[in-house]
């Protein structure tokens, strides 16, 4: 078990570059457990890159290089010999666009659990039900678990993707603009869901939507130009930002 007092995620002088381009510079901050942390900032500020560093999805980029250190619940995730499989089991991710597998609803949720042998065949249905309930999707799909997931609406698909991530019983959920492809009603459902989920999971959400960040997050980090400009309690960031640049972005003067 990892240390209960260490932060959900902690960056220590963290940097990231690929090829000759440096995307993130000297980022240091600690994210709370059992809380929603929002990362906001203009396009290309590095917020998604930072998020994708936490579960090492950036390893897919050619010529990637990490600097400094990045810890999840007190353990560095940057070691060359780190077991990516177990890291990604502990750190779930939900993407911009819903990306269910072209399989049944049941199989989608059971996918991670099957791989990681988290449940026996007999236990799978309960795990799937539990995950779908946590993702507030169970009532809508309980009668058609064997139907293809691609037949669901966009909002349902995204909640299915959340259920799929929860099926791995992660410690941490990373969300990369999870509502950017959804309509306002579906967005609202996801937001309500996140507020419920933070009782049990640590959540980091990257969002373009500042109202969203203000509505659902406990703390907010503002990124610009690959640097962490300001980080603090959401209310303070949005009402009394300490840095002029943050205020300019929040009031819509750039970005």
Partner 1 sequence: MNRLGWRRWKSRVMVGLMMVAVVVAVAPLVMILATLVARGAGSLNLAFFTQIPVPAGETGGGVAHAIVGTLLIVGTAALLGLPIGIGAGIYCAEYPTARLAVVARFVADVMNGTPSIVVGVFAWTLIVDVQKHFSGLAGSAALAMLMVPMVLRTTEEMVRLVPHSLREAALALGYPRWRTSLSVVVRTCLPGIVTGSLLAIARIAGETAPLLFTALGSQFMSRDLDQPMAALPLTVFTYATGPYDDWHRIAWATALVLILVVLVLSLLARLATRQRFGSRG
The length of the chain, given as a count of residues: 255
| The one among 115, 126, 233, 242 contacting partner 1 by CB under 8 A | 115
Q: Which stretch binds partner 1 (CB under 8 A): 25-33, 41-49, 160-168, 217-225?
A: 160-168
Q: How far is the CB of 73 from partner 1 (least distance, A)?
A: 16
> In the range 135-154, which residues lie near partner 1 by CB under 8 A?
148, 150-151
H or E stretch including 250? helix 244-250
Complete edge-to-edge strand list for the sheet that includes strand 227-233: 91-94, 172-176, 202-206, 36-40, 219-224, 227-233
Q: Does 130 bind partner 1 (CB under 8 A)?
A: no
Q: Does 93 bind partner 1 (CB under 8 A)?
A: yes
Q: How far is the CB of 152 from partner 1 (least distance, A)?
A: 9
What is d(CA 148, CA 3) in angstroms, rounded to the nearest whole number? 40
| DSSP assignments along 133-158, one per residue | HHTT-HHHHTT-TTSBGGGS-HHHHH
Site string for partner 1, 50-69 (x = CB under 8 A): -----x-x--x---------
Q: What are the tokens at 212?
A: 């969203």
Backbone angles phi, psi at 230, to 5 degrees: -155, 145
Burial class (CB in 10 A: 0-12, 13-18, 19+), 29: middle
| The one among 28, 34, 82, 84 contacting partner 1 by CB under 8 A | 84
Q: Does 161 bind partner 1 (CB under 8 A)?
A: yes
> In the range 4-33, which residues lie near partner 1 by CB under 8 A?
none
- Which residues of this chain interact with partner 1, rule CB under 8 A? 55, 57, 60, 84-89, 92-93, 95, 97, 99-102, 111-112, 115-116, 148, 150-151, 161, 164-165, 168
């Amino acid at each position: 078990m990892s240390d209960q007092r260490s932060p959900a995620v902690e960056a220590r002088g963290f940097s990231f570059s690929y090829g000759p381009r440096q995307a993130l510079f000297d980022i240091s901050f600690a994210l709370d457990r059992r809380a929603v942390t929002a990362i906001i900032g203009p396009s290309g500020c590095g917020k998604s890159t930072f998020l994708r560093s936490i579960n090492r999805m950036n390893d897919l980029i050619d010529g990637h290089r990490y600097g400094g250190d990045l810890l999840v619940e007190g353990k560095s995730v940057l070691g060359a010999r780190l077991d990516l499989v177990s890291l990604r089991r502990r750190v779930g991710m939900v993407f911009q666009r819903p990306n269910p597998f072209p399989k049944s609803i049941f199989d989608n949720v059971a996918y991670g659990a099957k791989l990681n042998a988290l449940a026996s065949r007999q236990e799978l249905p309960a795990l799937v039900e539990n995950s779908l309930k946590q993702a507030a999707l169970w009532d809508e799909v309980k009668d058609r678990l064997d139907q293809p997931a691609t037949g669901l609406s966009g909002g349902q698909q995204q909640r299915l993707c959340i259920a799929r991530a929860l099926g791995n019983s992660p410690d941490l959920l990373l969300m990369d603009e999870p509502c950017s492809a959804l309509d306002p009603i579906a967005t609202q459902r996801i937001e309500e869901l996140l507020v419920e989920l933070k009782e049990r999971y640590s959540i980091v959400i990257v969002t373009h939507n500042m109202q969203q960040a203000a509505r659902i997050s406990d703390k907010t980090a503002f990124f610009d130009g690959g640097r962490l400009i300001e980080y603090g309690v959401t209310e303070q960031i949005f009402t009394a930002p300490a840095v002029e640049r943050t205020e300019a972005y929040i009031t819509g003067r750039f970005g």
